[in-house]
């Protein structure tokens, strides 16, 4: 049975898995961050798409939350690593105890007066010690591996959040381009309609056309005025939506560097598949989730095994704060202890924790399988969408040129008395509709290509 439909798709999946496993970031590493952008919009050159993405990364709260989560996960891995290493502390104490009045004549000088009430060694007692502890547990080792996997997963999730933000910025960015193009189309249609009104008035004055043609042209011009006002309003709203992502004040005036520029050529499909196979954060996150779930199972099972502890104490505990006491007694010394804790009975608590971890591992494995399938489907879907959108944009450009020629010929026929005013209005409507369709086609093409570039890590 072929799981992914074809050997080619299976090869893409294997490349994705190999690349993700080989290129996982270490727990102490972080993803490269974009430099903070300027808050003022360039007045001359305009804002590029890359600049818009960088500004949004500095302002977006969802991306900031993902960045904080990734940093916290890296610190959790560092904290769990510290539990595997020896730790050292100091213990410095001075105690004073009320003397009891009893004297031990056989004791050295300074220790003959016995303390009262409490079992202290002497009236003046000093503690100055260094304590070194080391705990060895298989569960702690597994927990460290799990936290490293979770840190790598959080790093992948941060990249996914970045790409989600990129997708939102791309949609808003090219939404402004599309809305501006539509406003230009509405402006040209209104000007064309105004020109036709002037033409009908001129021909009516020469008694070449009826008054009905003037009325029809004037009604069409009023409709074009309303359409232009709506298009301009939509363009202003689109600019505000993008401004929310980029500036502290969304009303900040700005220009876009890519307004009116045609999209770049579509890359080769094999190159797209190779890029997606080497860099997909969703797949990497799913792989790390499975790894963390496996380490969680190991940590739960390791509770069946004993834990080891070692303690070493060096310093003094004496009535004098000195290396040597009275009568040549040496105050400095050390003590050491070694412990082993054997689990005996916990009313199946460990058994139930192991079962819980195994269930979570099964869920993580199912998520990984689904992510692999979705990646393969998205590769084909996004590439086909971009290819069809490019072809449609080319066809729509041809339609616009044809509609312009049709309008020009129809107006010439109308001036020669061979066409009706209704035909001119229809030709104007056809041109406006073709230009609107071209603006939508360019938006579709740009967004489809941006989605493809986001999936492959280009954006």
Express each pLDDT in 281-315 by its tens digit: 777 788 888 888 888 888 888 888 888 888 888 88
DSSP classification of residue 309: E
Check pLDDT > 90 for residue 36.
no
Check pLDDT > 80 for residue 44.
no
Q: Give the pLDDT confidence score for residue 80 in this predicted structure.
A: 86
Higher pLDDT, residue 17 or 437:
437
Q: Give the pLDDT confidence score for residue 111 in this predicted structure.
A: 61
Lowest mean pLDDT among 92-106, 194-208, 216-230, 323-337: 92-106
Q: Which residues contact 322 (CB under 8 A, 6 or more apart)?
A: 331
* Helical (H) or strand (E) element with 299: helix 281-301
Q: What is the signed CA dihedral for 375, 377, 379, 381, rounded to 10 degrees?
A: -140
Q: What angle do CA 125, 129, 131 make, to 5 degrees?
A: 145
CATH placement of domain 7-26+37-84+145-305+380-456: 1.20.1600.10
Instruction: Work out the average pLDDT over 314-318.
Output: 81
Check pLDDT > 60 for residue 4.
no
Answer whether 151's CB lies under 8 Å from 434's CB. Answer: no
Q: Give the pLDDT confidence score for residue 117 in this predicted structure.
A: 59
For residue 210, CA distances in Å to 9, 219, 368, 411 come to 67, 15, 73, 16
CA pair distance 375, 16, nearest whole angstrom: 9
DSSP classification of residue 99: E
From 172, 132, 8, 149, select the one nearest 77 (Cα to Cα).
149
Q: What angle do CA 227, 169, 240 make, to 5 degrees?
A: 45
Look up residue 321 and give its two tokens.
């704060």
CA pair distance 198, 218, nearest whole angstrom: 9
Domain ranges of the chain: 7-26+37-84+145-305+380-456
Which residues are paired to 91 by β-bridges? 129
If you write DSSP's letter for every residue of 174-237 in order, what string do you get? HHHHHHHHHHHHHHHHHHHHHHHHHHHHHHHHTTSS-HHHHHHHHHHHHHHHHHHHHHHHHHHH
Q: How many CA atoms lie within 13 A of 97 on its CB side?
A: 19
Check pLDDT > 50 for residue 426.
yes
Check pLDDT > 80 for residue 325.
no
CA pair distance 442, 361, nearest whole angstrom: 45
133 — phi, psi (to 5°)? Answer: -125, 145
Look up residue 237 and give its two tokens.
């709203």
Q: Give the pLDDT confidence score for residue 102 in this predicted structure.
A: 63
CA pair distance 178, 262, nearest whole angstrom: 12
Instruction: Work out the average pLDDT over 159-171.
Output: 86
Express each pLDDT in 371-424 by its tens digit: 888 877 878 888 888 888 888 888 988 999 999 899 889 888 888 888 888 888
Look up residue 47 and give its two tokens.
């804002």
If you write DSSP's letter for every residue of 101-158 in order, what string do you get? EEE-TTSPTTSSEEE-SS--SSSEEEEEEEEEEEEE-HHHHHHHHHHHHHHHHHHHHH
Check pLDDT > 90 for residue 237.
yes
Lowest mean pLDDT among 32-46, 81-95, 137-151, 154-168: 32-46
From 315, 321, 324, select the one nearest 122 (Cα to Cα).
321
Q: Give the pLDDT confidence score for residue 100 in this predicted structure.
A: 62
Answer whether 297's CB lies under 8 Å from 113's CB. Answer: no
Q: Give the pLDDT confidence score for residue 371 in this predicted structure.
A: 80
Q: Give the pLDDT confidence score for residue 226 in this predicted structure.
A: 92
Answer whether 287's CB lies under 8 Å from 347's CB. Answer: no
Q: Give the pLDDT confidence score for residue 164 in this predicted structure.
A: 85
Instruction: Work out the average pLDDT over 118-143.
Output: 78
Q: Give the pLDDT confidence score for residue 230 in this predicted structure.
A: 92
For residue 272, CA distances in Å to 11, 12, 44, 279 come to 14, 11, 34, 11
Place of tokens 């940093």: 71
Instruction: Work out the average pLDDT over 329-350.
Output: 85
For helices 138-205 and 211-246, the axis angle rounded to 10 degrees is 160
Express each pLDDT in 187-212 by its tens digit: 988 988 888 888 888 888 888 878 88
């Amino acid at each position: 049975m072929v799981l992914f439909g074809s050997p080619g798709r299976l090869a893409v999946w294997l490349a994705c898995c190999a690349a993700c496993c080989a290129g996982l970031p270490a727990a102490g590493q972080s993803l490269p961050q974009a430099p903070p952008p300027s808050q003022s919009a360039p007045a001359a050159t305009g804002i590029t798409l890359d600049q818009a993405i960088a500004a949004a990364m500095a302002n977006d709260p969802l991306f900031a939350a993902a960045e904080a989560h990734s940093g916290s996960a890296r610190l959790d891995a560092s904290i769990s690593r510290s539990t595997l290493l020896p730790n050292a502390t100091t213990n410095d104490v001075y105690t004073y105890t009320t003397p009891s009045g009893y004297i031990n004549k056989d004791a050295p000088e300074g220790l003959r007066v016995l303390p009262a009430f409490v079992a202290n060694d002497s009236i003046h007692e000093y503690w100055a010690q260094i304590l070194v502890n080391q705990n060895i547990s298989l569960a702690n080792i597994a927990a460290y591996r799990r936290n490293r996997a979770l840190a790598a997963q959080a790093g992948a999730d941060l990249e996914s959040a970045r790409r989600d933000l990129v997708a939102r910025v791309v949609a808003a960015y090219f939404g402004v381009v599309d809305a501006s193009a539509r406003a230009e189309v509405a402006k040209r249609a209104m000007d064309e309609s105004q020109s036709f009104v002037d033409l009908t008035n001129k021909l009516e004055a020469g008694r070449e056309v009826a008054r009905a043609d003037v009325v029809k042209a004037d009604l069409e011009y009023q409709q074009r005025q309303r359409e232009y006002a709506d298009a301009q309003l939509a363009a202003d709203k689109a600019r505000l939506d993008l401004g929310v992502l980029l500036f502290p004040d969304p009303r900040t005036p700005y220009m876009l560097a890519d307004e009116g520029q045609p999209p770049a050529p579509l890359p080769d499909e094999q190159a797209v598949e190779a890029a997606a196979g080497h860099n997909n954060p969703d797949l990497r996150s799913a792989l790390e989730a499975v790894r963390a779930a496996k380490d969680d199972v190991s940590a739960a099972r390791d509770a069946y095994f004993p834990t080891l502890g070692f303690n070493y104490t060096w310093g003094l505990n004496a009535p004098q704060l000195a290396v040597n006491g009275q009568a040549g007694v040496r105050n400095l010394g050390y003590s050491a202890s070694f412990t082993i804790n054997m689990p005996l009975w916990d009313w199946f608590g460990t058994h139930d924790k192991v079962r819980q971890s195994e269930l979570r591992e099964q869920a993580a494995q199912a998520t990984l399988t689904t992510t692999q399938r979705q990646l393969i489907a998205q590769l084909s879907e996004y590439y086909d969408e971009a290819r069809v959108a490019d072809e449609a944009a080319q066809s729509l450009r041809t339609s616009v040129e044809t509609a312009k020629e049709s309008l020009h010929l129809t107006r010439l026929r109308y001036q020669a008395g061979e066409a009706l005013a209704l035909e001119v209005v229809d030709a104007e409507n056809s041109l406006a509709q073709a230009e609107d369709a071209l603006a939508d086609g360019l938006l579709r093409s740009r967004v489809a290509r941006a989605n493809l570039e986001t999936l492959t890590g280009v954006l």
